[in-house]
Amino acid sequence: MSTKPRVESALPGEPVSFATAMMHAPDILTRFGELYADFWQQGIISQEIKEMTRIRNARITDCGY
């Protein structure tokens, strides 16, 4: 596992993060945002349960998010 960013920020002067790295492909980031917003804001499952499963999945996969 790397401890350093593997893709630099697409925004000069901005630190690298998920968003600034994804800005290398802005159309993908936009579509991802639209998909993610629908997933989180719509449907019959509460956001609390979605967040709980997201955190559990992040821990299982050893993800920092």
Partner 1 sequence: MTEFTSLLAQRPALAERYAAFLSSVQGHAAVPARLNELCRARIQQIHGITPAGLDEATLVQLAATDYSSFTSAEAAGLAIAEKISFQHHGITDDDVEQVRQEVGNDGCVALLTALSFYDVECRLQLTTEALNVD
Query: Which residues contact partner 1 (rule: CB under 8 A)?
Result: 1-2, 4, 6-8, 10, 21-22, 24-25, 27-28, 30-32, 34-35, 38-39, 42-43, 61-62
What token pair was written down for 35?
Answer: 């998909």
Smallest separation (angstroms) from partner 1 to the CB of 27: 5
What token pair was written down for 60?
Answer: 């299982």
Cβ contact 20:9 at 8 Å: yes
Smallest separation (angstroms) from partner 1 to the CB of 50: 13
Smallest separation (angstroms) from partner 1 to the CB of 52: 18
Kindly tell me the sign of the dihedral angle through the C-alpha atoms of 47, 48, 53, 54. positive
